[in-house]
Amino acid sequence: MALEPVFGIADWVIGIFQTLAIIVLAPLMTGVMRKVKASSQKRVGSSIFQPYYDLLKLMRKDEVISDQSSWIFRFTPWVVFAATATAALFIPAFVSFTPFSIAGDLLLVVGLFGLARFFTMLAGLDVASAFGGLGSSREMMMSALIEPALFITIFAISLTYGGTNVSTIVSSAVDATIASSAGIITPTLIFASISFFIVLMAETGRIPFDNPATHLELTMVHEAMVLEYSGRSLALLEWAQSIKMAILLTLLVNIFAPWGIVSAGQPQQLGSAILIAPLILAGKMLIVAILIAHIETRIAKWRLFRIPDLLAMAMSSSMIGVIFFYL
């Protein structure tokens, strides 16, 4: 019979440190992506710390709230931020475990993202704005395709690593890497990684699914739903979007490229967990962020009715991974 894990004070400290690192450094990753994107377009671009300046500026501004709105519009930014920050609790960043994962797994993380998306769509409809309704209807259509692709990808990952608990998955990936450098390179994970990358682009509203840097009626999805927000509420929504990107990037690099992560069975490497492992994680995330930024500069936003084709590719890729697992 399996014993419940026992966590010491150091484990809880590391777990809190990992969560705070994701929440605090998430805007920095957004700034890096914007800087790389600007450089790719032969522009100077703003500083990588500009998202922090924007958040501070918005926090000090007054809010303008529509007289057509209800409590849903006012509470949505807090619900979205709380749900996204809570999801960060269950994500092992530079150590292969987090004590908070005993209360949840990947399915809970997906559920928290779904809660945030649900309230955002309600807020878009709540203000009786034409743009809000447009963005909410598009988001409903896309989420109906994104979530099946994400669940099938999680199924392929859980088959390989024996569960949906995030700490279990990352620990198994790290152990496989330690046992054999090629232990994690399997057809199932290769196809699952392709699917997860496509889902990451869709979940975070990146090109070709959405363009977060525009307010054009023909292209807006997420921006249309939050167009009525200002001040502190807009800051919370922008921060939550950056945290969501950081969470998905962390999951991507830790599940499919778990090199440099301190294993739960190596308590003697506590120093590495605090010093070296975060740098390795930042390097891996930076590589993926630069890749995403370059992709966004090389392709245009797809037409809305072509997006299901790309999400169908994600579902097909994860299904192929499941088939390979049983071959």
Q: For residue range 170-189, list pLDDT tens digits in order.
A: 888 887 776 665 556 788 88
CA distances from 143 to 128, 137, 199 (A): 22, 10, 10
Q: How confident is the model at residue 136 (pLDDT cuts 50, 70, 90)?
A: confident
Is the pLDDT reported for residue 197 higher than 80? Answer: yes
User: Would you state the pLDDT for residue 2?
Assistant: 44
Q: State how far the Cα of 166 lies from the Cα of 254, in Å rounded to an integer.
A: 10
Domain boundaries in the chain? 9-38+52-326
DSSP code string of 184-253: T--HHHHHHHHHHHHHHHHHTT-TTT--TT---TTT-SHHHHTTT--HHHHHHHHHHHHHHHHHHHHHHH
Strands (E), the chain: none
| One-letter amino acid of 280 | I
Take residue 22 and report the two structure tokens written for it: 């994701």
3-class state of residue 262 by DSSP: strand
Q: Can you give the pLDDT at residue 270?
A: 58
Find the radius of gyration of the CA atoms of the chain: 20
Structure tokens given for 80: 């979205």
What is the overall mean pLDDT for the chain? Answer: 84
Give the model confidence (pLDDT) of 239-268 as tens digits: 999 999 999 999 999 988 888 787 765 555
Q: Which of 322, 324, 326 is nearest to 153 (CA)?
A: 322
Across the range 9-23, mean pLDDT stands at 84
**Percent of the chain whose predicted confidence (pLDDT) is above 90:** 29
Q: How confident is residue 217, by pLDDT bands cut at 50, 70 and 90?
A: low
Residue 276, token pair as written in the block: 């070296």
Average pLDDT for residues 301-317, to the nearest whole number? 86
Q: What is the pLDDT of residues 61-119, one digit of tens each?
A: 988 888 778 889 999 999 999 999 999 999 988 888 888 877 778 889 999 999 999 99
